[in-house]
Structure 1
């Protein structure tokens, strides 16, 4: 477990916080994709810039890369040995996004690019709500695909805050049977 992707069902699921805590526990550098995708003033990086940066990141010996970014998923998945997926209920994700907005009013989070103060608008909330179910299906398929690509790949599927906290506390290897116990088919 040296090259880890942290994915989640939605904004607000806790990917950044989880990745940061995992980084501290495992002493592995963490990279937040939002900080590479966004430039000051909420300007998007070009596809080329964003891809090239990730291609450099995955060359490192050890890494945790946090963020979904479907368009560049394969850059990370080809080099990762572990995929950790967080899936909390939609209501929890929405609550956390609103809470995050209030807590970070006028500030830039540590997992964001400088010059991108926290914001929340109707379009972002609509995006979260309208893509949640489809993303859930897509992410579960990604877990299956990741496991099928190599017998050395590991998937950790965390479906509630108790599992997330327990994983971070114990840092224990999860047996493959747990995937089915968690409803992963």
Structure 2
């Protein structure tokens, strides 16, 4: 399971880990967002995540704090990309400028509200994530810089 703020590099490292370990990669954004940026109801989302974690092997990419506890129950490893807010905002802005189109029916968009969420992630979301990870029985890898991500991936290849 790979978690972190938007723009932290979750999708990039998830693709590499899924390829390395031959795991089915589940980008939660692709399952959450419906065409036109429509959100499912909480009940629909919990049911969908329940179906996704029922699989024997998986690698999930995404936060979604309202279903994190469900996913942690079935995870054995969590990679927490705890990158700086400025790096995350920069990456999201670059992704927007490059026109990333990876969620079907949802054209790339950027809103101040989204940038504010990223900027406030360290203060608002990180403490809750860390609390959940403290209670997690599996292995947690917390990476704070791109250099640490590179070292982590290099170690896996040894």
TM over 0.5: yes
Instruction: Give distance in 2, aligned partners of 1:159 and 1:122.
Output: 25
Which structure 1 residue ranges, 5 or more long, are not aligned? Answer: 174-185
Aligned to 1:102: 97
Q: Which has the larger radius of gyration?
A: 1
Q: 1:168 aligns with which of 142, 145, 153?
A: 153
Aligned to 1:33: 28
Farther off after superposition, 119-128 or 136-145: 136-145
Which structure 2 residue ranges, 5 or more long, are not aligned? Answer: none
**3-state SS of 1:94 partner:** helix
Instruction: Give distance in 1, aligned partners of 2:13 and 2:123.
Output: 22
Q: Is residue 87 of structure 2 the alignment partner of residue 92 of structure 1?
A: yes
8 Å CA contact 2:8, 2:82 repeated in 1: yes
Aligned to 1:159: 144
Aligned to 1:181: none
Aligned to 1:6: 2
Q: How many Å apart are 1:72 and its aligned residue?
A: 0.9
Aligned to 1:139: 129
Q: How many Å apart are 1:129 and its aligned residue?
A: 1.7
8 Å CA contact 2:85, 2:121 repeated in 1: no
Instruction: Give distance in 1, aligned partners of 2:126 and 2:2.
Output: 15
Instruction: Give distance in 1, aligned partners of 2:111 and 2:86.
Output: 17
Instruction: Give distance in 2, aligned partners of 1:172 and 1:7.
Output: 21
Q: How many Å apart are 1:132 and its aligned residue?
A: 2.7
Q: How many Å apart are 1:21 and its aligned residue?
A: 1.2
Q: How many Å apart are 1:164 and its aligned residue?
A: 0.7
Aligned to 2:46: 51
**3-state SS of 2:68 partner:** helix
Q: When the two structures are superposed, what TM-score results if normalisation uses the length of structure 1? A: 0.80
Instruction: Give distance in 1, aligned partners of 2:6 and 2:44.
Output: 23
Farther off after superposition, 84-93 or 122-131: 122-131
Aligned to 1:125: 115
- Please list every run of at least 4 consecutive aligned residues from structure 1 whose deviation after the TM superposition is greater than 4 angstroms: none
For these two proteins, the number of residue pairs brought into alignment is 158
**1:128-168: CA deviations, max 9, x gaps?**
2233322222222222111xxx3xx1111111101111212
